[in-house]
Amino acid sequence: MSQPLTIHYHRDFDGMVSAAVLARVLSERERGDICWKSVNYDQREDWHNFEAGARFGIVDFHFHPRAEYWFDHHPTTFLSEELRARYLEAHDTPNDRWAWDENSPSCPPLILKHAIRHWGYQPEARFLEMARWSDVIDAARFESVDQAIFGDEPALRIMRALTVAPTIDWVDELVGAMVQADLAGVANRADVEKAHQRASRNRDRALEQFPPTVAWKKDKVLLYDASSSQIRRERFAPFYHHPDIHYSVGVIPTRSGFHVTAGENPWNSPHSVGLAGAHIGNLMERYGGGGHRSVGGANPHDLPAARKVAAEIAEELRRAILEARPHGAV
């Protein structure tokens, strides 16, 4: 009897789908039991000793050299250069248990692709559907701000329900449901529906609370301060209330301090109107943060610092738009 293998996954929609897909695929490859459990960022502290002595896989989370199976799409997956080298070395020889593709919008499609190519897997239609929605959700490829905020498709109801997950174990239970059922089947569970209703009320409250947090809006850049813990947060609220902006920059609370977040409007990006715009991740690096071209963040040490950083970044983004504007145009 072989030791059970645990799939550790990132606790979000695409991480959950990744775990479900891998669990399903491995149920035909592995003789022992397959279990799954979400990981959190605190577990990176002692990453070297992670799950010492146990058999495990990791999906949608950091590379670990002892992972028997590992799939990720995050550019920041390697916690050290040494770990990156371990992965690259293994790839000099064919490795059919690990794959990384930082160009994949989400993690499940790369697991499916890998399983089809290396393990002769024939994907069930429901997993292809879950993978498609993972790309939409993880890369914020929603058709419209209305779909992002009010979308009623099963995947979007599950996504919203996750914002009010009552316990950590609940997420593991939903992965179990994804192994067995399609998205509609998971979304129609009574517990998911109940969580979705509660999350929708939170969303409505967050949309109401957003307008007074706006500090200013100039040249299609919006700066807001939602640092009060009394304010509920809806990620796309700035673009819902101000569909004309190219960028939003805000201060929000975290468990241990404050976070500066900045993002392009996915439905009115500077590029969509022919402007080069700025690289937000690079801007954030100046303040000890990071990110991608279109979205990024930083964690200044206190609230005054966070407000200052947010204002400076907003000004920088304004400048990027003004400089890109052709002469004479308004």
Beta bridge partners of 325: none
Check binding of 225 to Mn ion (CB under 5 A): no
Check binding of 264 to Mn ion (CB under 5 A): no
Note whether 163 and 57 are within 8 A (CB).
no
Backbone phi, then psi, for 297, in 5-degree steps?
-160, 165
Candidates 4-12, 116-124, 164-172, 175-183; binding stretch for Mn ion (CB under 5 A) = 4-12
215 token code pair = 């500090």
**Rg of the chain's alpha carbons, rounded to an integer?**
21
At its nearest, how many Å lie between Mn ion and the CB of residue 100?
14
Candidates 15-23, 46-54, 179-187, 284-292; binding stretch for Mn ion (CB under 5 A) = 15-23
CA 95 – CA 222 distance, rounded (Å): 47
Phi-psi region of 54 (alpha: psi -120 to 50; beta: other; left: phi over 0): beta
What SS3 class is residue 116? helix
Candidates 52-60, 128-136, 140-148, 257-265; binding stretch for Mn ion (CB under 5 A) = 52-60
Among 12, 72, 234, 264, binds Mn ion (CB under 5 A): 12
If the CB atoms of residues 107 and 260 are measured against Mn ion, the closer one turns out to be: 107
Pairing of strands 258-264, 295-298: antiparallel
Site for Mn ion in 59-98 (CB under 5 A): 60
> What sign does the CA torsion over 319, 325, 327, 328 have?
negative
Check binding of 14 to Mn ion (CB under 5 A): yes
CA 264 – CA 246 distance, rounded (Å): 6
If the CB atoms of residues 4 and 75 are measured against Mn ion, the closer one turns out to be: 75
Closest-CA residue to 314 (of 242, 220, 197): 220
Candidates 8-16, 242-250, 275-283, 315-323; binding stretch for Mn ion (CB under 5 A) = 8-16
Number of residues that bind Mn ion (CB under 5 A): 5
At its nearest, how many Å lie between Mn ion and the CB of residue 66?
21
If the CB atoms of residues 12 and 264 are measured against Mn ion, the closer one turns out to be: 12
Among 5, 9, 11, 15, binds Mn ion (CB under 5 A): 15
If the CB atoms of residues 17 and 187 are measured against Mn ion, the closer one turns out to be: 17
If the CB atoms of residues 235 and 318 are measured against Mn ion, the closer one turns out to be: 235
If the CB atoms of residues 127 and 247 are measured against Mn ion, the closer one turns out to be: 127
**DSSP string of 21-84?**
HHHHHHHHH-SS-EEEEEE-GGGGTTGGGTTTTSEEEEESS---TT-SEEEE--TT--SSHHHH
Among 10, 62, 73, 318, binds Mn ion (CB under 5 A): 10
Binding residues for Mn ion, per CB under 5 A? 10, 12, 14-15, 60
